[in-house]
A and B are shown apart, each in its own frame.
Chain A
Amino acid sequence: MSPMLEVRDLVVSYGKIKAVKGISFSVDEGEVVSLIGTNGAGKTTTLRTISGLLRPTSGSIRFQGKRIDSVAAHEIVTLGLAHSPEGRRIFPRLTVEQNLLLGAFARRDNDVRTDLQAAYDLFPILGERKSQAAGTFSGGEQQMLAMGRAMMSRPKLLMLDEPSMGLSPLMMKTVMSTVTTLQEQGTTILLVEQNAQAALKRATKGYVLEVGQIVLSGSGRELLESDDVRKAYLGED
């Protein structure tokens, strides 16, 4: 079976600077795949290119067998690929519910209410505060909202860009366990993280990115146990 998402020899440049220098990886259905790496490794650029917000210089991106590297961003969402962007990017002056409904913008069916309830079941706090302006939320709550919003488009593949950023350890635990829940519910997940420990623990597969190139790959467990990863990302020697 061909992978759900297949990135091959992807090169992305900002002007003359190459941010991603020919990476290849794949995500199979039902997997949680983690891309880890330090600041400036090209993780966010990769995600933004997959979701169509940036255009690759060369290389190809296939989603469910279809090439999407020249498809418009708003059409990629309708194909079933959701992107929860870096820094969460919720709409601060809109209510929780309006935020969630905008997540379902690309859909044209009438089942949105059911999924709204599903989002409230996943994150009860969203249901309790559905009429509150999202900007008044704490960082963790905003992250829940961002994930709930991304799920509103009923994605087959959910891309999360640093969901743990700026969260307390407790809140991070909640958010990360949601990743597992979503996987169990049948969503494939591509997770970008700086927090290697948290990301790899849950990953079926992992890739380590360094200055635009993949330097290591393997199962989550393999990477966690690898000396290089332990030295570079887990602060052990």
Chain B
Amino acid sequence: MSTHDDLTPTNDLPGVDAPAPVRETDRPAYDDDHERTPLLERFPGRGSAAAWPLGLLGVALLVGGTFLSWSYTSNVLGDLSVDFYPNGVQICMIILGLVALVMLLAHQGPLHRLGDWLDTAAAVRILGLGALAYMVITLGIIAVRSGGLINVNPGGWVSTVGALLIALSGLMLVSHQSKDPLFAQTSSWVEIITIVVLLAAVLFGATYALGTSTGGAFSLFLVFAFALAWGLAKAGFFTWVGLIAQKNRQVLMLGAFAVAFLFPFTQGGSDENMSIATQVLIFAATALGLNIVVGLAGLLDLGYIAFLGAGAYVGATMSNSAFATIGWKPPFLVVVLIGACFSAVLGLIIGSPTLRVSGDYLAIVTLAFGEIFRFTMGNLDGTNGPDLTNGPNGIPAIPELNFFGFDFGQPHEILGITIGRFANYYFLLLVIAAIIILVFTRLNNSRIGRGWVAIREDEKAAEAMGVNVFGLKLFAFAGGAFLAGMAGTVKAHHDVSVSPDQYIFLESAFLLAAVVLGGMGTVAGVLIGATILKLLPEKLRFINDYRLMIFGLVLVLMMRFRPEGLVASQRRKLEFHEDDEDLAERIEEVHLEEEEAKA
């Protein structure tokens, strides 16, 4: 049966018949020894003609059910008790149902040709199972909150049955995908519209997720988003998205920046979500800086938070706070530069003796450096040394930033929309994040970036090629520190106070986790990783006590099942799946195509 493994890459345009894919049954018998028939293929009724109408019925029930009341009481998950007025929790199911419908129609029906490119069966399967999980959790929440399943209204049951039918249909369908979406050739306006739609979806999704009032609704959104993303990924949709994102990089960058820029305007002046958003942004910007060190140069830095702290302390001691000890008060932009340079100098001091040795030593030294920084800041209180940092109490009451009369502490009206205090900082942090992203991509595509690749691959060989190994490593280390210091100066004003306990080792670990989870060496991946890691504990207060355990578990599972991270370039994937010859071949094919396109 057509699975991902036996796709035959073709360069044909859509609609032109491709050579038939190699089917499992055509394979020689000895293959069966190590490739037993998957459980999925022994599913009863698989391949039957009933699967497709069953799926359509499922979609109709799932979507139809959302227009009916799900709950007898009106105080669960917002309000699910009104007929013909679906709320957010129900709209998620409508969206999931509609995507499943598109997949079904691509399987058989008007969008038949699309089905040649996508693994529709797998998509319907995952979407159905996801919807089913979503419905079961929803019904569970209703039952627990209002005392028994009796409180579930017919709509809830109808949607659940619908989800079940979609899942069954997906399990029975056999997809007729015959082409690899990696070789799809689409017109550029389709690509740009797709990017715009996806970005808009991200904006709406983020607004909805942040606006959810209960942990339950937020968790349900996560289930929904995960099912949708996984389903589309299974279908091969994201392979194509990755391709067009590469092709239309500028559009994507501009679009993503526009979405991020528009986000505060959706919040109606409320600071509640913006304060989370600014924290996410500080975290993401710092993680992107760390990504240069870890992802590009391949240096393990376990004390990176100290560079953020160094910037923050520079920002604080040079501010107008009553506890600031440095008399000189330069303008903020100068402070940003001083903070960044101070961090970079620290980076040079730590880096120059340790970067000559490899790997583990650097990790240990940076780990120690992070702690030394924290203790030093806690001790420079006048008793044990010069009075610089006000010791363990830190420097409180750092005044708000003020750019040419624009007070960051006050709400402002822009085009009739109120922009609160955190939104002001959000815009400033967005600029910092944009600078870091720009530096990152520029470096990655430069001669320096190629040198880093060589160092990551084989340090000794790189040296023999004329790569200045030590110099480039030191540059990555100091450069990463510079960017973190820059972000730190803003963080000091944003947080209003700095104290040593903000810069504990755990924070460094989280930064590293964001980079690894998202995908080392990528911008999008690290942004996603940082968002997940910062947003989840904020919205799911109840997991806060267990968050370390959960993140640990997630990371272990990631290393087992997707070591390249959530987002990874094809080539990066190869680094983790060296023996995957199919992948190597696919990459080669794509590379050849690119070459031909250039010629």
User: Hey, which bits of chain A sit against chain B, CB under 8 A?
Assistant: 51, 53, 72-74, 76-78, 83-85, 89-95, 98, 101-103, 105-106, 131-133, 135-136, 149, 153
Contacts and interface: CB of A to CB of B under 8 A. Distances in A.
Contacts of B83: none
Closest 9 CB pairs of A and B: A106-B466, A77-B466, A89-B461, A131-B591, A74-B468, A91-B457, A131-B588, A74-B466, A83-B464
B466 A91 contact: no
Nearest to A48: B464
Contacts of A89: 458, 460-461, 464
B467 interface: yes
A95 B591 contact: yes
Of A76, A90, A94, most buried by chain B (CB within 10 Å of CB) is: A94
Contact of B460 (A76, A85, A98, A133): A85
B450 A101 contact: yes
Contacts of B464: 51, 53, 73, 77, 83-85, 89
A136 B584 contact: yes
Contacts of B26: none
B575 interface: yes
Interface string B439-457: 0000000010011011001
A133 B454 CA distance: 14
Contacts of A83: 464
A53 B463 contact: yes
Given A105-B447, A105-B451, A72 B468 contact: yes
B578 A93 contact: yes
B349 interface: no
B595 interface: yes
A77 B457 contact: no
Interface string B220-261: 000000000000000000000000000000000000000000
Contacts of B469: 74
Contact of B463 (A74, A131, A132): A74
Contact of B465 (A95, A106, A132, A133): A106
A74 B447 CA distance: 14
B592 interface: yes
B454 A105 contact: yes
B202 to A, nearest CB: 32
Nearest to B589: A131
Contact of A105 (B457, B466, B592): B466
A174 to B, nearest CB: 23
B387 to A, nearest CB: 44
A95 B575 CA distance: 12
A112 to B, nearest CB: 11
A91 B454 contact: yes
Interface of B: 447, 450-451, 453-454, 457-458, 460-469, 471, 571, 574-575, 578, 581, 584, 587-588, 591-592, 595
Contacts of A98: 453
18 contacts: A53-B464, A72-B468, A73-B464, A74-B463, A74-B471, A77-B464, A83-B464, A91-B453, A92-B457, A92-B578, A93-B571, A93-B574, A93-B578, A94-B457, A95-B588, A105-B465, A131-B587, A149-B465
Contacts of B591: 95, 131
Contacts of B453: 91, 94, 98, 102
Given A74-B466, A102-B454, 11 more contacts: A73-B463, A74-B463, A85-B460, A85-B461, A90-B461, A93-B571, A94-B457, A102-B462, A106-B465, A133-B584, A135-B578
A53 B460 contact: yes
Contacts of B592: 131
Of A53, A74, A76, A101, most buried by chain B (CB within 10 Å of CB) is: A74
A77 B460 contact: no
A164 B561 CA distance: 40
A74 B472 CA distance: 11
A66 B327 CA distance: 53
A85 to B, nearest CB: 5
A149 B462 CA distance: 11
B457 A93 contact: yes
Contacts of B575: 93
Nearest to A101: B450
B568 to A, nearest CB: 13
Contact of B467 (A53, A84, A105, A132): A105
A136 B585 CA distance: 11
Nearest to B595: A131
Contacts of A135: 578
B465 A77 contact: yes
Contacts of A136: 581, 584
Contact of B461 (A91, A101, A131, A132): A91
A179 to B, nearest CB: 19
A133 B447 contact: no
Contact of A153 (B458, B463, B465, B574): B465
Contacts of A105: 447, 450-451, 454, 465-467
B567 to A, nearest CB: 19
Contacts of B588: 95, 131-133
A205 to B, nearest CB: 24
Contacts of B451: 105
A79 to B, nearest CB: 10
Contacts of A92: 457, 578
B450 to A, nearest CB: 6
Contacts of A72: 468
Nearest to A161: B464
A51 B460 CA distance: 12
Nearest to A129: B588
A102 B455 CA distance: 11
Contacts of B461: 85, 89-91
Contacts of B460: 53, 85, 89
A102 to B, nearest CB: 5
Given A74-B468, A101-B450, A133-B584, A91 B463 contact: no
Contacts of A132: 584, 588
Of B466, B467, B575, B578, most buried by chain A (CB within 10 Å of CB) is: B466
A153 B466 contact: yes
Contacts of A84: 464
A71 to B, nearest CB: 12
Nearest to B467: A105
A98 B591 CA distance: 12
A75 B592 CA distance: 34
Contacts of A153: 465-466
Contacts of A131: 587-588, 591-592, 595
Contacts of A95: 588, 591
Contacts of B574: 93, 133
Contacts of B578: 92-93, 135
A51 B458 CA distance: 17
A72 B356 CA distance: 13
A72 B472 CA distance: 14
B595 A91 contact: no
A192 to B, nearest CB: 14
Contacts of A74: 463, 466-469, 471
A105 to B, nearest CB: 5
B463 A102 contact: no
A74 to B, nearest CB: 4
